Amino acid sequence: MKFYTETHQHFCGIDLHTKTIYLCILNSSGEIILHTNIPARPKPFLKVIKPFRDDLVIGVECMFSWYWLADLCIQEEIKFILGHALYMKAIHGGKAKSDKIDSEKIARLIKGGTFPLAYVYPPGLRPTRDLLRRRRTLVRMRSEMLAHIKLTHYQYNAEFFQKNINKKGNREGIAEQFSDPTIRKNIELDVSVADHLHAEIVQLENYIIRKTKAFDPRTFYRLQTVPGIGPVLALTILYEVGDIDRFPTVQCKRPAQPPRFYYG
């Protein structure tokens, strides 16, 4: 885990929410020079930090609503750092907890050199990464529908469909194995939802692949040369890793082994 250890004239800790921002600004001596709650909007934020913008660092815990603030700081050329949520919870956890207390603790972590850093993902790649993560949700929903079909067969000890129902073409006629119209309707509902999700997932994958081929086709294709890595896993690695140079080492404790495969 990396910690932010740079020194500044002003240190700003922010407890960020969807509608409000509670911020605490410390000077180089550790004294609180501003502690206030403002609307979570760009204009009020820029207005309140204006007197302290010279040599200011902004620190925020890595929660779901940090995108806009990071982009604003980049646009305004203000130093922005993102805190790792799990490590910050371990460091500044306590019985007393409020927005005011949390903002001050974040500011003091930054000043004391114990602010655990998280990666500020590049703005241009965030939408595609989030879309790829959304695909995972759709795949899980489809799996739930198919699992319910199997459970229904087990409930009534029915002869299960011989084909692999994970494939869309193999799900035709699966509801006809039940004579009860209500059970059949239940299965038809699962099949209909699963088919619709399947179509959406395919369209989503094709869209992301087209975006990736325009963005970084070389890395996308080279990842797929590794045995076991297909298009979806290659996309996941590419967008979750981001800039590979942010990792100083491979963090591998095993002795170096000669490569088994060579690529030009």
Please check whether residue 141 is in contact with residue 196, taking contact to mean a CB–CB distance below 8 angstroms: no
Q: What's the confidence (pLDDT) of residue 197?
A: 94
Point out which residues pair with 116 in neighbouring strands. 3
164 and 233 inside one domain: yes
23 and 110 inside one domain: yes
Does residue 163 have a pLDDT over 90? no
Residue 248 per-residue DSSP state: S
220 and 135 inside one domain: yes
pLDDT category at 208 given cuts 50, 70, 90 is very high
Tell me how far CA of residue 4 lies from CA of 85, 108, 123, in angstroms: 14, 12, 21
| Counted domains in the chain | 2
61 and 137 inside one domain: no
Q: Helix 126-155 to helix 181-215 angle, to the nearest 10 degrees?
A: 160
In sequence order, what DSSP letters do the residues of 65-79 get, joined into one string? Answer: T-HHHHHHHHHTT-E
251 found inside a domain: no
What's the residue count for the chain?
A: 264
- Helix, strand, coil percentages (3-state) for the chain, rounded to 5, are 50, 15, 35
| Per-residue pLDDT tens over the stretch 104-121 | 999 999 999 999 999 998
| Domain span at 49 | 3-118
φ and ψ at residue 159, rounded to 5 degrees: -70, 120
Q: What's the confidence (pLDDT) of residue 90?
A: 61
Q: What's the confidence (pLDDT) of residue 1?
A: 77
φ and ψ at residue 148, rounded to 5 degrees: -65, -35
pLDDT category at 261 given cuts 50, 70, 90 is very low
229 found inside a domain: yes
Amino acid type, 95: K
Give the distance, in angstroms, between the CA of residue 251 and the centroid of all CA atoms in the same chain: 22
139 and 206 inside one domain: yes
DSSP, collapsed to helix, strand or coil, labels residue 119 as coil
What integer is the mean pLDDT of 158-177?
77
Q: How far apart are CA 115 and CA 58, in angstroms?
A: 11
Amino acid type, 262: Y
73 and 10 inside one domain: yes
Does residue 131 have a pLDDT over 50? yes
Does residue 99 have a pLDDT over 90? no
- The per-residue pLDDT of the chain, averaged, comes to 87
DSSP, collapsed to helix, strand or coil, labels residue 124 as coil
Does residue 127 have a pLDDT over 80? yes
164 and 186 inside one domain: yes
Q: What's the confidence (pLDDT) of residue 260?
A: 46
46-50, 183-187, 201-205, 248-252 — which is least confidently predicted? Answer: 248-252
What integer is the mean pLDDT of 148-160?
84
111 and 221 inside one domain: no
208 found inside a domain: yes
63 and 155 inside one domain: no
Pairing mode of beta strands 3-4, 32-39? unpaired
73-82, 208-217, 238-247 — which is least confidently predicted? Answer: 238-247
Please check whether residue 12 is in contact with residue 52, taking contact to mean a CB–CB distance below 8 angstroms: yes
